[in-house]
Every structure is written in C-alpha cells, then in structure tokens.
C-alpha cells in the first residue's frame, strides 16, 4: 500500500532502460513530457524523442510514419486526447495502414476527475477495441506496467494502453508473475461468483473479495489487463465454474471490458452478469478517489453489490 510510483512512471522508467539499449525505440509526445513523466527520456535520449507540440492528430500521423521506417514507436499523451482527437489517425494511419504504434494514454479514466469531462476518457476501451488487430491494455499496478512495456517493446504490434495518473497499491509481487499477453490472472479463488477487474479497479476487487471472505462468500478475482484480445477461456471457465460474473472497470458501462465479457458469456454460456463502471452520465467533479467512491468502484461497494446479486441469482 506504500507504493508511491505511478504506473506512468513505471512505464517511462522501463522505457528509458529499454531505449538506451535499443535505438529503434522512439517516443513521440504532444507537449506532455511532464504529464507522462518523459523528462528523463527527453534529456538522455534526444535522438529518440520527438516533441510535436499540442497536436495529437499530427502526433499519431508522425508516429505512424516513424513506425513505417521500423521504429518502435510509443506515442504518449493524456488518454482523453489520444482516444478522441487522434481517433481517425489511429484508425487510418496506424490500424488500417498496419503501422505498429504503441499508443500510450496516460491519466485515463477519471484520473483527472476534477478537471472535468474534457479530461476524462471513459470511452477509450469501447472505441479502441472495435478496431481490427489493435490490442487494448490496461495495467493494474507498476509491475504489470513494466511487464506490458517490455512486451510491447519486443513485439511489433499496434496497441492502445491506458494507464492512470496516481500511484496504485501493488497487486503483484514482481514483474514476472504479473503479465502474459492475452491472459487473465486469477488473483483469488472462490466458487460463489467471479469479479473481473482491470487497471485501478483490481485492488478494489481484491478488497471486495477479502470483505466477502469474512462473510463466508468465496469469489474468484480475475485481473484482465488485456481487454483485446480478451481471455475467452478464463471468462468461460468463470461462467461455468462460478455461475455469476461481476465486472468492474474505470470506464463507461457501455462498450468496455464488461461489454467484452458479456459478448462472450451471453453467446457461449449465459449466466447473470453485472457491469459496474461509470453510469451513462457526465461524471461529477472530484478527486479520482472520491469519484471511485461515488460511483461504487471501491471494495465495500463492490462487495455489497456481489452480495445482492448472489441473493438474487444463487440463493
């Protein structure tokens, strides 16, 4: 709980390490070196750093052009802008033209809660996962962030990665155990229900499992860092073996990880599902923690929702 390293910092520290050894690694950013924590990269590797100014469309176009020359490009900026302003460039220049850019959206979801809806990205999983062959990822903690960064540096794939702003409690003990591309991680075991979470909701899901455990309810917790391609087998096992699924994500309840889970469960092994996320409204202002609390994304709220659903569907 004492971790003070935000995921975006774990990302840039890892990237500096990798790029020092691999001159083909490039960073492109749009006046976001402070927000992303890219100062060290810019200072130590200026030949691999590209500042485009406040121009996110150009950022992704330039990133795609660099990628077409074999550069391993990480285009970094706040998630709200990259997933909205640059969307056509992501679709055409990256996905359609097959230029493997790693699009890193930082301070995603409601990280920037108090700055208003312009700065939130609650639609990014939804839009990004409809693009063919674009991987969509969201790390749960700093170890998983490092693992994802290393994986992306080694694989020439187009990907969108959303990470938050502040530090989050460690979910994993080390980098190695934290991530396998396209796979869910089973973090706790139980047969009464499954909670599937990702990103900053994972530690809240674990907290919920702990609360439920004290009341004699055993829940499986899955961390789903890869939203696309999603781990179909883990989802179906959860449906078959626990019969009730609750998804929790820092995203609109429409179109995100919960929807991806529901698409599989409803068509292949229907069981009750509850999608917890940000409801269909413009979020109120407040800190990230206050908004997690307000919208029921914390351990207590998740646990009580699970209790209600178990009573409704399983007792």
Partner 1 sequence: MTHAELQALRLKSTSLRKALLGMIYRAKTGHTGGSLSSVDILTVLYYHVLRIDPKHPKDPNRDRFIMSKGHSVEALYVILADKGFFPLEELKTFSKFDSRLIGHPSVKVPGVELNTGALGHGLSCSVGMALAAQRDRSAVRVFCLMGDGEQAEGSVWEAAMAASNFKLDNLTAIIDRNRLQISGNTETVMKLDSLQEKWEAFGWDVHTVDGHDFSALTEAFGAPQVLGKPRMIIAETLKGKGVSYMQDNAKWHHGVPDDQQYHLALEELESYMQEVRGHE
Summarize as ranges the residues that interact with partner 1 (CB under 8 A): 47-48, 50, 52-53, 55, 57-58, 60-71, 88-89, 91-93, 96-99
Q: How far is the CB of 191 from partner 1 (least distance, A)?
A: 49
Q: Which is nearer to partner 1, 83 or 288 (CB)?
A: 83
Q: How far is the CB of 82 from partner 1 (least distance, A)?
A: 14
Q: How far is the CB of 277 from partner 1 (least distance, A)?
A: 31
Q: How far is the CB of 103 from partner 1 (least distance, A)?
A: 14
Q: Which is nearer to partner 1, 65 or 218 (CB)?
A: 65
Q: How many angstroms separate the CA atoms of 160 and 129, rounded?
A: 9
Q: Which is nearer to partner 1, 16 or 66 (CB)?
A: 66
CB 138 within 8 A of CB 170: no
**300's tokens:** 């207590």
Q: Could you give the maximum distance between any two Cα atoms of the chain, in Å?
A: 63
With b for 16 or more beta-carbon neighbours within 10 A and e for fewer, the 250-278 pattern comes to bbbbebbbbbbbbebbeeeeebbbbbbbb
Q: Which is nearer to partner 1, 89 or 185 (CB)?
A: 89
Q: Which is nearer to partner 1, 18 or 275 (CB)?
A: 18
CB 42 within 8 A of CB 181: no
Q: How far is the CB of 162 from partner 1 (least distance, A)?
A: 23
Give the CA angle between residues 97, 102, 108 to the nearest 5°.
120
Q: Which is nearer to partner 1, 64 or 261 (CB)?
A: 64
Q: How far is the CB of 27 from partner 1 (least distance, A)?
A: 13
Nearest partner of 297 among 227, 231, 225, 246, judged by Cα: 246
Q: How many angstroms separate the CA atoms of 94 and 75, rounded?
A: 11
């Amino acid at each position: 709980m004492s971790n003070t390293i935000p995921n975006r910092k774990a990302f840039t520290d890892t990237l500096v390490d990798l790029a020092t050894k691999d001159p083909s690694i490039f960073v492109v950013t749009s006046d976001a070196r402070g927000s992303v924590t890219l100062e060290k990269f810019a200072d130590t590797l200026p030949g691999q750093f590209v500042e485009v100014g406040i121009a996110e469309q150009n950022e992704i176009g330039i990133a795609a052009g660099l990628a077409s020359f074999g550069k391993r490009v990480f285009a970094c900026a706040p998630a709200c802008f990259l997933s909205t302003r640059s969307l056509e460039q992501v679709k055409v220049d990256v996905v359609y033209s097959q230029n493997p850019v790693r699009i890193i959206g930082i301070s995603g979801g409601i990280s920037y809660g108090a700055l208003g809806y312009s700065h939130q990205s609650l639609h990014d999983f939804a839009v990004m996962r409809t693009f063919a062959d674009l991987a969509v990822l969201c790390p749960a903690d700093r170890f998983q962030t490092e693992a994802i960064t290393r994986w992306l540096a080694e694989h020439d794939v187009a990907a969108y990665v959303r990470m938050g702003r502040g530090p989050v409690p460690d979910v994993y003990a080390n980098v190695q155990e934290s991530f396998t591309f396209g796979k869910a991680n089973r973090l706790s075991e139980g047969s009464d229900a499954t909670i599937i979470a990702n990103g900053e909701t994972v530690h809240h899901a674990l907290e919920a499992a702990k609360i439920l455990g004290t009341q004699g309810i055993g829940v499986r917790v899955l961390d789903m860092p890869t939203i696309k391609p999603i781990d179909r087998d883990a989802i179906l096992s959860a449906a078959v073996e626990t019969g009730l699924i609750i998804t929790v994500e820092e995203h609109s309840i429409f179109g995100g990880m919960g929807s991806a889970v529901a698409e599989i469960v409803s068509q292949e092994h229907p069981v009750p599902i509850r999608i917890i996320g940000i409801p269909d409204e413009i979020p109120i202002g407040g800190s990230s923690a206050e908004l997690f609390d307000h919208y029921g994304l914390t351990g207590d709220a998740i646990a009580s929702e699970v209790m209600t659903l178990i009573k409704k569907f399983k007792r």
